Amino acid sequence: MDIADWRKKIDEIDHKLVELLNQRAQAAHEIGKLKRRAGMPIYEPDREQAVFANASRANRGPLPERDLIRIYERVMDIMRKIQQEEIAPQTTAEGAGDTELDSEVND
């Protein structure tokens, strides 16, 4: 394959990644709603470690584990924001959109 073929392959993979990331975001949103209704805490350190371990077990390379974990940390930052946006309107009367995100929200 030449560079154009590899780039086309990357574009196809990126389309799949976008679809999967949006599915993950929808799941995080639904979890946020369930946690809000149940009065559950958002931050679950054991869950965070389980996500990292699960991703590490699935990794067959060539992406180094440390880089995979860095990617997952960023993904989880975004998922925290999604859950916070689901929960924040119920926890603050004014300025819900103006609050800093809780850095300890995950899933």
Confidence category of residue 39, pLDDT binned at 50, 70, 90: confident
Q: What pLDDT band is residue 107 in, cutting at 50, 70 and 90?
A: low
> Which pLDDT band, with edges at 50, 70 and 90, does 80 fall under?
confident
Length of the chain: 107
pTM for the predicted model, two decimal places = 0.75
C-alpha angle 34-35-38 in degrees, rounded to nearest 5: 85
Please give the DSSP secondary-structure letter assigned to residue 98: G
Class of domain 3-98: mainly alpha
